[in-house]
Amino acid sequence: MKSFNNLDNKAEDVVNTYFKYCAIEMNTKMLSRAMLYLANDGVDPITGKVYITESQSKRINAVMLTCGHYDASGDFAFNVGLPGKSGVGGGIVAVVPELMSISVFSPGLNKQGNSLAGTKALELFTTKTKLSIF
């Protein structure tokens, strides 16, 4: 990436920053709470604090829906029907627009690097609650 001039900083600094943010430890309650503003057009519904604009929130949710689960993003969108982001540690957070954020954790990953049981749990959640955006 550096040889193609895609990095403005030293490669070592970029990699260290990436690893730092990949190693943030959160439980499912903390993860859901951290993403709640994305379910409320960029505003934290508990504190009223505006983090981002409604347009930015819409864009982030769209990116999570289309890219948040690596090569399985299309399957996640089809089966779960919510914007979401997975992590290789087994956590997944999903956004139910205008209602809530929800997260799950199960470390067993599928071949695309997403939580197998977590994905299934969210699929069952949206099937039973009818909270899919589709």
Task: Provide the terminal-to-terminal Cα distance of the chain, rounded to the nearest Å.
Answer: 37
| CATH fold for domain 26-129 | Beta-lactamase (3.40.710)
CB atoms within 10 A of CB 57: 20
Read off the tokens for 133. Answer: 């955006």
pTM (predicted TM-score)? 0.84
How large is the average pLDDT for residues 97-116? Answer: 96
- Write down the residue that tokens 């999903």 correspond to: 94
Query: What sign has the CA pseudo-torsion 27, 28, 31, 32?
Result: negative
Assess whether pLDDT exceeds 90 at residue 26.
no
pLDDT of 31? 94
How large is the average pLDDT for residues 119-125? Answer: 98
How large is the average pLDDT for residues 69-75? Answer: 96
